[in-house]
Structure 1
Amino acid sequence: MILSRHERMIARRYLLPGKGEGFIFLVAGISLFAVMLGVAALVIVMSVMNGFRAELFDKVVGLNGHAVIQAYGGRLDNWRPLLEQARSTPGITSATPLIEQPLMASREGRVEGVLLRGMRLEDIRNNPLIRDNVRAGSLDSLEPGVQNVAIGSRLAEMLGVTVGSQISLISPEGRSTPFGTMPRIVGYTVTAIFEIGLYDFDRAYVLMPMEEAQSYLMLGDAIGMIEVQTADPDRAGEIVAPLAAVAPPGTIVTDWRQMNSELFEALQVERVAMFVVLSIIVLVAAFNILSSLIMLVRAKYRDIAILRTMGATRGGIMKVFMTVGVTIGVLGIIAGLILGAIFLYFRQSVVVFVQFVTGQNLWDPSIRFLTELPSKTDPVEVVAIVLMALTLCVVFTFFPARTASRTDPVQVLRYE
C-alpha cells in the first residue's frame, strides 16, 4: 500500500492527538496496549510450553532412550546377541545395556523409595545428562566392587546425605531362610550427587556400575533392559519395528511415545488450548482498533468531506485510515515481541519475584517435574502469531476505512 506525500501527512496527523481528540487517542492507545499484551502473552506461553516439552523430552529420553528392549519378567538373559543385533539395525545410533530396579534406601531412620540404575562405567561417564550435572563429588569414584554410588540431589536432601555419607539399599528379594525370604540390605558410600533437572529423576535415582548392580540384585550375567537411541526420535517406532519382529519370545520393544504417551499428549492438548484462549486477547485488541477508528471517522467527517471536495479519491481516503489502523496494530505487535523477549529472558527472576511478593511457591518441582521454568521460542510460531495479529488488525481496520471512503461530501457539508 503506497501512500502519496499528502496522504502520509494526513495519516501522521490522524495518529497524533488533536484538539478535543484526547479520548480518541486514549482508545487508540488502549488498542495498541491490548495488541502488545496479546502478542506478548502468546509468545511467552507458547515458548514456555515448547520449552517444557523440549526439556521433558531431552531429559526423559536422554536417560530412558528412544526405545527399550526388555523381557516380561524384567530379567534379560543371553542379551549380548540381541545387543549386537540392535546396534546393527539401520537407524539405531546406539544400544546400551542397563539395569533398573525399584528399591528402598535408608539412612539414620529415614527411608525413601529409590530406583537403582546400573550402567556400564563408560556409559555413565559419556552420558551428558549425568556427566555435565554433577553437583558434588566425582563420577570417577564409581568402580565395580568398591560399593560407591551416585544419587540425585533431591534424594540427597530427603535422606540428609552429602558426599562421603553412607546409605543402605534394601531389596525385598534377599536370601531364603527357614523363616522366609530375608530382605537384602547393603551399605554404600555416596561419592557423587547429580541434578538432572527433572524432579522425579533427582528424587529417585541411585546410580552404580552395572557389575555392582548385578552382584547386589543377584542377577548373574543378566540385565534388565537394553536402551536404544535412534537417528530420528519421531520415527523411533518405525526404526525399531524390524528389531521387534526378530526379538526372542518373551521380549518386548517399547518406544518413547508408548512409555510417555499420556504426558506428551496432555502437553500437546494444553498447548493448543492455550493458543486458542490467548488468541482471544488479540481478537479483543482488534475490536478496540475497530472502535477507535470508528470514533476517528466520526470525528473527521467534515475533514473527509473537505478532502474529497479538494480532489482526494475514495481510494486515497481509504488508504489513510487503513494506514492509521495498521500502524496501531504493527506498533502493538512490535512492542509485544519486545515485551515477550524481555519476559522470557528474565523468566526465572520474574517467578522468584512473584513468589517473594505473594509468599506462594509458584514453581514446585514435585508438581511441575522440572526445577526451573523452561523456554524455547519457535521462530515459525512467532511468525504465525505475528501474521495472525496483523491479519486481524487489517480485517478490523478495513470496515471503518471503507466507511470513511464512502463519505458523501455533499451530504456532510450541507448540514455543517
Structure 2
Amino acid sequence: MTGFFNRFEWQIAGRYIRSRRREGVISLIAWASFLGIMIGVATLIIVMAVMNGFRADLLERILGVGGHAVVRPYGGAFQSQSAVVDRLVQLNGVQRLTPVLEAQVMVSVGTTARGAILRGVDKARIPELPVLTDNKVLGDLSRVGQIESAAPGLAIGQRMAEIYGLEIGMPISLIAPKGAKTPFGTAPRVRQYSVESIFEVGLSDYDATFIYTDMDTVSALTGTSKDMAALEIVVVQPDKIQDLRPAIDQAVGEAGWVRDWQQTNAALSGALKVERNVMFLILTMILLVASLNIVSGLVMLVKDKSRDIAILRTMGMKRGAVLRIFFITGASIGVVGTLVGVIVGVVFCQNIEAIRQLITTLTGTELFPSEIYFLNELPAKIIVEDVVMVAGLSLALSFLSTLYPSWRAASLAPVEVLRND
C-alpha cells in the first residue's frame, strides 16, 4: 500500500502484530484488546437492537389501541364531523381514520364490579379493527355489536375474562355513570350484553380495562350522540407524526383539538430513551477498557522494540515513519476487532430467537417467559445508524489509544537507547 502509509511501514507493523515466543505477554495483551473490542462492539449492537425491538413492540401494542393521533371535538360534539373526516382522510400520510365513541362504565358480573372503558366503532369496521383482528384469542367478531333477537355482543380483554371468569357466550352487565331521567327520578342505566370475542393485546392494563362494541350500543347505554365520537388517526410513519401535525391541525381547524401519541406517551417514550442511553454508556466502558489494553500493549511493545527503533532511526528513518508504524500496529487491532464485532453482533441479532431457544433448551430455564413479558419471540430491531455509531465510536477510541505510544516511540533518542543497551 502506498500513500500516507508505505509498504515498508506496513511490513514492520505486521511483524510486530504477529506473535513470537519471547513476546508472549505483548501478544496476549494484543489478543485481549482484540477480544475486548470485538465483544464490546457486538454487545453494544445486540443490546441496542433488543432495546429498539422492545420499544417498537411496546409502542406498537400501545398505539394499536388508540391510534397515532386523536381529534376530540370542542364543546363535546362536532358541528360537522363528516367534513372534518373528509379533510383528514385526504391528507398525504394518513393511513386510516376511525371514529370512536368512548365512555367509562362499570362492569358487573355476579358480586364483582369494576370500572372499564367502553369503546364503540362502526359495526362494519369491527372485523377490520387491528386491535381486535391482530390480537383475537377466541370468538367471532361478526357477532360484536347489535345483533337481531339477541343481546348486543362485546369484545373484552383476556385479563378481564380471567377476573370475572367469563367465556364466550356468557352474560355481562354494564352500568353507565349517568342515569336515565324517569318520572320517578333518575334511574341507573343498566344493560345486559353477551361476550362474543376475547382479545389479548399483551398489556395487562389494556386487557383488563377495554371493551369493544359498536357505536350504537355505546350510544344507547350512555345516551351520548355519535357526533361526540373522537377521531383516531393512524399514519404511515408514526415516528414522523410531528411532520404531519401542521396539516392535521389545519384540517381540524376550530372544530376540535389534536393530541398525538408522542404527547400522550411522553413519559414512557422518555423513560425508554433514557434507559437506552444509560445502557449505551455502561457498555461503552467495555470498549474503553479494551482501548486501554491497546495503550498498555503498545507501551510494552515500544519498550521491547526500542533498540530496533534506534537502529532504524540511525539508518535514516524519520520520526513520522516510526509514529505511523506503531499507529498501524494499534489501529489494526481496533479495525479488525470492530469489523468482527459488527459481524458477530448483526448475525446474533438476526438469529436471536433461535439462540434464545437454544439457551432455554441447554439450561432448562426460559429466557423472557411469554407469560411475564407478553412476547412470542425476543424482538431485535437493527438500526443502521446505531451500527455505524457503535463502529465509529470503537474506531475512534482505538485510534486515540495509539497516539501516546506512537508519539513515545517516535520521540526515542537513538543515541541514548544504543548507549544504554
* Structure-2-length-normalised TM-score: 0.82
Change (3 A) 1:19 1:370: closer
Change (3 A) 1:353 1:186: farther
Change (3 A) 1:114 1:331: farther
Q: Which residue of 2 aligns with 1:271?
A: 276
RMSD of aligned Cα (Å)? 3.6
Q: Which residue of 2 aligns with 1:328?
A: 333
Q: Shift in Å at residue 43 of structure 1? A: 1.9
Q: Which residue of 1 aligns with 2:243?
A: 235
Counterpart Cα distance in 1 of 2:203 and 2:20: 57
Alignment of 1:375 onto 2:380: yes
Structure 2 residue aligned with 1:15, among 13, 17, 31? 17
Counterpart of 1:11 in structure 2: which amino acid? A
Q: Which residue of 2 aligns with 1:196?
A: 201
Counterpart of 2:340 in structure 1: which amino acid? A
Q: Which residue of 2 aligns with 1:187?
A: 193
Counterpart Cα distance in 1 of 2:21 and 2:305: 12
Counterpart Cα distance in 2 of 1:220 and 1:328: 70
Contact conserved, 1:297 with 1:400, CA < 8 A, in 2? yes
Q: Shift in Å at residue 321 of structure 1? A: 1.8
Counterpart of 1:415 in structure 2: which amino acid? N
Q: Which residue of 1 aligns with 2:117?
A: 115
1:63 counterpart SS class: helix
Change (3 A) 1:303 1:89: closer
Structure 2 residue aligned with 1:219, among 220, 224, 238? 224
Contact conserved, 1:87 with 1:94, CA < 8 A, in 2? yes
Greater Cα shift, 50-59 or 399-408: 50-59
Q: Deviations over 1:230-261 (max 9, x none)?
A: 465222431222244331xxx43323333222
Q: Which residue of 1 aligns with 2:65?
A: 63
Change (3 A) 1:376 1:163: same
2:22 counterpart SS class: coil
Counterpart Cα distance in 1 of 2:325 and 2:8: 10
1:161 counterpart SS class: coil
User: Mapping of 1:279-298 within 5 angstroms?
Assistant: 279-298=284-303
Q: Which residue of 1 aligns with 2:352?
A: 346
Counterpart Cα distance in 2 of 1:351 and 1:218: 52
Q: Which residue of 2 aligns with 1:105?
A: 107
* Structure-1-length-normalised TM-score: 0.82
Q: Shift in Å at residue 224 of structure 1? A: 3.0
Counterpart of 2:118 in structure 1: which amino acid? L
Change (3 A) 1:122 1:51: farther
Counterpart Cα distance in 1 of 2:109 and 2:80: 36
Q: Shift in Å at residue 16 of structure 1? A: 3.0
Change (3 A) 1:39 1:401: same
Change (3 A) 1:348 1:163: farther
Q: Which residue of 2 aligns with 1:403?
A: 408
Counterpart Cα distance in 2 of 1:116 and 1:349: 42
Contact conserved, 2:67 with 2:233, CA < 8 A, in 1? yes
Contact conserved, 2:143 with 2:153, CA < 8 A, in 1? yes
Change (3 A) 1:77 1:206: farther
Q: Deviations over 1:348-386 (max 9, x none)?
A: 9649968x97989967988x7978654322101211221
Runs of 5+ in structure 2 lacking a partner?
Answer: none
Change (3 A) 1:122 1:407: farther
Counterpart Cα distance in 1 of 2:67 and 2:59: 10
Q: Shift in Å at residue 394 of structure 1? A: 0.7
Give aligned-pair identity as a percent. Answer: 35
Q: How many residues align?
A: 411
Change (3 A) 1:32 1:229: same
Counterpart of 1:263 in structure 2: which amino acid? L
Counterpart Cα distance in 2 of 1:351 and 1:204: 33
Q: Shift in Å at residue 7 of structure 1? A: 3.8
Alignment of 1:159 onto 2:167: no
Q: Deviations over 1:204-245 (max 9, x none)?
A: 222212222222323254443122344652224312222443
Q: Which residue of 2 aligns with 1:389?
A: 394
Alignment of 1:206 onto 2:211: yes
